[in-house]
């Protein structure tokens, strides 16, 4: 039995008798954790975009980015993106999830939709 500790999801137990089953369970946990981060982000997206990308997004950009975030939220978690977590789960009994790898994925995904002409000059 393996355990994933997440501040957002609590403790999750994984059955580790079969590596394939273990990875399927891990994918679901990663997806659920990412969904919660995206939900929180979407509750105040303009502030996040200003903080992370230093832009003042207009309504059209916010709507586009919300749509893209919904697409990401619905997509499966790519284990290659979370390889460090996968390796910890495979080698340790307890793995602590941090938000950092999720934000790295989300920010890289959003960067392609942020319009550079929207950048503010401060």
Distance from C-alpha of 54 to C-alpha of 119, rounded to nearest angstrom: 6
Tens of pLDDT along the chain (122 residues) come to 999 999 999 999 999 888 899 999 999 999 999 999 999 999 999 999 999 999 888 899 999 999 999 999 999 999 999 999 999 999 999 999 999 999 999 999 998 888 555 444 43
Contact predicate 5/85, CB 8 Å: no
Q: How far is CA 91 from the centre of its chain?
A: 22
Distance of CA 33 to the CA centre of its chain: 7
Beta bridge partners of 10: 6
What is the number of other CB atoms lying within 10 angstroms of the CB of residue 12?
18
């Amino acid at each position: 039995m393996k355990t994933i500790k997440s501040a957002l999801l609590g403790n999750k137990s994984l059955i580790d008798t079969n590596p394939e089953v273990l990875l399927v369970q891990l994918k679901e946990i990663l997806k659920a954790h990412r969904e919660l981060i995206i939900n929180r982000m979407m509750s105040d997206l303009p502030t996040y975009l200003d903080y992370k990308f230093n832009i003042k997004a207009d309504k059209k950009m916010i709507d586009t980015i919300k749509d893209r975030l919904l697409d990401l939220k619905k997509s499966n978690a790519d284990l290659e993106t979370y390889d460090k977590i996968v390796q910890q789960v495979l080698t340790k009994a307890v793995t602590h999830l941090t938000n950092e790898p999720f934000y790295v994925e989300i920010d890289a995904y959003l960067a392609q939709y942020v319009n550079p002409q929207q950048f503010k000059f401060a």
